[in-house]
Structure 1
Amino acid sequence: MERHITVPLSAETAASLRAGDYIYLTGTIYTARDAAHKRMHEALERGEELPLDIKDNVIYYMGPSPAREGRPIGSAGPTTASRMDRYAPALLDLGLKGMIGKGKRLQAVKDAVVRNGAVYFAAVGGAGALLSRSILASEVIAYEDLGTEAIRKLEVRDFPVIVVMDAAGNDLYETAAQEYRRDKSEG
């Protein structure tokens, strides 16, 4: 199924998405990678507030290349999501509704996705220049000293993603592999 949805995500919208759906996001999303996640984790351990309101928001695991003249951002491809797996469950428990990255996730992340009615999207790796065309604005909002790993607020229009893991726990990486193996054994 192909759908156009607005972000931040409502609980109802997140619950309606299914693994395998093609989605076009429009609205506000945030970027954060390894170093930013580590800082957010440390802030939470100290009892401090996070530099952004996590509730119902989507974090894109991405660190952009420098913007060319006249563009808000450079190449904006996804990074491997598993690098954030140790931090993701705590953020999901605080109300994070979506994550965008590439690759499989640990069981603890899957459990937190289901527990919190969230969703994990995949963006196509290697298509950073194409993905950047859907980014209308980019602003560093926290941890500027981290350079490309700073937290950014992005305004996106029709940003293409695929639902990999839905709120019911369906995981496209698992089901697609099972289907492939079944098709190979029947062929």
Structure 2
Amino acid sequence: MAEYHLTTPLTDNDILQLRAGDVVFLNGIIYTARDAAHKKLMALLDRGEELPFELEGCVIYYVGPSPAPEGRPIGAAGPTTSYRMDSFAPRLHALGQKASIGKGKRSPAVKAALQENKAVYFGATGGAGALLSECIVAAEVIAFDELGPEAVRRLTVKDFPVLVINDSFGGDLYAQPDLSAVGLDK
């Protein structure tokens, strides 16, 4: 398992070097979107309208952050369970999204989309939202403000720590037998 420092937007070359189990520190811009925002993004696509951010090379973080305390750009920002976005993810990956960040397993359709589109699924540590927020240096709502915590945000991150769960070669960290002994396969 290797360690990488990557800057968004991600490229095919960035993705093709990664394997399940690798540690990645992300820098640059990532976007937030949970299930309510994904439904609105799909509606925009269905109508042929532009999305509020460029999909090519982007990273979407499945998070609904808490309000920002005074002097901070964002509150706790821990990952939400990813399977709620599984029905939307293959379409977004086909349109250029290179990675998502969340927690939990992904569906066979998402894993296939990762392989077909040279993309990855990153896991972030659940329960560590306050610590993860320390790596977010700026946050701005860019769409769907009416969704509150689930609005789409543009986050500027510095050394945001993630783990490659599913790589673009079919590797699945949760399927590795040594993880079941410590409960990481759930």
TM-score bin (small chain)? over 0.9
1:164-179 counterparts in 2 under 5 A?
Answer: 164-175=165-176, 178-179=177-178
- Residue 90 of structure 1 and its aligned partner are, at CA, apart by 0.3
Task: Give the corresponding residue for 1:53.
Answer: 54
CA distance, structure 1, for counterparts of residue 70 and residue 180 of structure 2: 47
- Residue 179 of structure 1 and its aligned partner are, at CA, apart by 3.1
Local SS of the residue matching 2:161: strand
Deviations along 1:49-75, whole A, 9 cap, x unmatched?
211111100000001000000000000
CA distance, structure 2, for counterparts of residue 107 and residue 85 of structure 1: 9
With over 3 angstroms needed to count, the CA separation of the structure-2 counterparts of 1:136 and 1:170, relative to structure 1, is: same
Task: Give the corresponding residue for 2:31.
Answer: 30
CA distance, structure 2, for counterparts of residue 128 and residue 2 of structure 1: 22
Q: Which amino acid is 1:141 matched to?
A: I
Task: Give the corresponding residue for 1:119.
Answer: 120
- Residue 120 of structure 1 and its aligned partner are, at CA, apart by 0.4
CA distance, structure 2, for counterparts of residue 129 and residue 172 of structure 1: 25
CA distance, structure 2, for counterparts of residue 110 and residue 181 of structure 1: 20
Deviations along 1:66-89, whole A, 9 cap, x unmatched?
000000000000000000000000
1:98-137 counterparts in 2 under 5 A?
Answer: 98-137=99-138
Task: Give the corresponding residue for 1:143.
Answer: 144
Q: Which amino acid is 1:131 matched to?
A: L
Task: Give the corresponding residue for 1:162.
Answer: 163
CA distance, structure 1, for counterparts of residue 71 and residue 165 of structure 2: 33
1:43 aligns with 2:41: no
Overall identity of the aligned pairs, in % = 58
CA distance, structure 1, for counterparts of residue 76 and residue 180 of structure 2: 35
Q: What's the C-alpha RMSD, in Å, of the aligned pairs?
A: 1.4
Deviations along 1:70-119, whole A, 9 cap, x unmatched?
00000000000000000000000000000000000000000000000001
CA distance, structure 1, for counterparts of residue 26 and residue 112 of structure 2: 24
Task: Give the corresponding residue for 1:185.
Answer: none
Aligned residues: 181
CA distance, structure 2, for counterparts of residue 44 and residue 69 of structure 1: 36
1:75-86 counterparts in 2 under 5 A?
Answer: 75-86=76-87
- Residue 181 of structure 1 and its aligned partner are, at CA, apart by 6.2
Local SS of the residue matching 1:156: strand
Q: Which amino acid is 2:178 matched to?
A: E
The list of structure 1 runs, each at least 4 consecutive aligned residues, that deviate by more than 4 angstroms after superposition, is none
Task: Give the corresponding residue for 2:184.
Answer: none
- TM-score, with normalisation over the residues of structure 2? 0.94
CA distance, structure 1, for counterparts of residue 142 and residue 180 of structure 2: 45
Local SS of the residue matching 2:40: helix
Between structures 1 and 2, the one with greater helix share = 1
